[in-house]
Amino acid sequence: MVALLTQDTPEFGNVQWEMGFALGNKAYRHRLIPVLVGAQTEMPAIVMPWILERFRVIRLPEPSKAEEVIREIAGALMAEA
């Protein structure tokens, strides 16, 4: 599961519910990839729940870096497949 987190994520309960489901489901073990979308200065600490700190976090600071980040996400997915 790729979880796209933005500065507005705390307002969306369904995103947090879906991540909680993935964390509690053995089928998703080691298969949750948090992607922080936006500049690091725009991302409040609440966006990154503490439980996700043990996962490989990928940052997408700006749209111009999207292709590079997509390759990184694909590599992380292939490594866990």
pLDDT digits (tens, 9 = 90+) for 47-73: 667 777 788 888 888 878 888 888 988
DSSP letter assigned to residue 34: E
Q: 76 CB contacts (<8 Å, ≥6 apart)?
A: 33, 56, 58
Mean pLDDT of the chain: 80
Q: Which two tokens stand for residue 48?
A: 């990154």
Q: Which domain holds residue 10?
A: 2-80
Structural domain count of the chain? 1
What is the rounded end-to-end Cα distance, in angstroms, of the chain? Answer: 12
Query: Which comes out higher in pLDDT, residue 76 or 8?
Result: 76
For 60, the token pair is: 């997408």
The structure tokens 């600490």 sit at: 45
